[in-house]
A = this chain, B = another copy of it.
């Protein structure tokens, strides 16, 4: 029976292979950054990622984190979402979902795409606008802050 770790390792190697396939190179920073991403699960800021990575390899520079995240987005492995006021979070591109962010406490709620289906249909019909809120979260108040 495969442990979680071995599953992640397999995935890590699969992602690294994608770099090699495109004539890229497998480096320590890339290995470490992707590992940190896999461990974090989802919704990590570049900053948090930098902390994790640098706790193992202090010399990995912020700009390397950003460049690696950029490459991973080109490969379709991760997506980034702007939660508002500048900070962006990164998450694995597995399941397509939307993000609701509480303006009061910052909580992020993930909701399936289909919740937006009716809105998307209505907006497209009335305004010809194709709603794609993947890259920007929808703001509001979470359950506890709304009360």
Contact = CB atoms under 8 A, between A and B. Distances in A.
A146 B124 CA distance: 10
A145 to B, nearest CB: 8
A130 B128 CA distance: 26
Contacts of A146: 128-130
Nearest to A121: B118
Interface string A81-104: 010111000000000000010110
A136 B135 contact: no
User: How many copies of the polypeptide does the oligomer hold?
Assistant: 2
Interface residues of A, number: 34
Interface string A36-63: 0000000000000000000000000000
A126 interface: yes
B118 A143 contact: no
Given A100-B127, A138-B138, A143-B127, A116 B119 contact: yes
A132 B136 contact: no
Contact of A142 (B102, B128, B140): B128
B140 A137 contact: no
A40 to B, nearest CB: 23
A126 B98 CA distance: 14
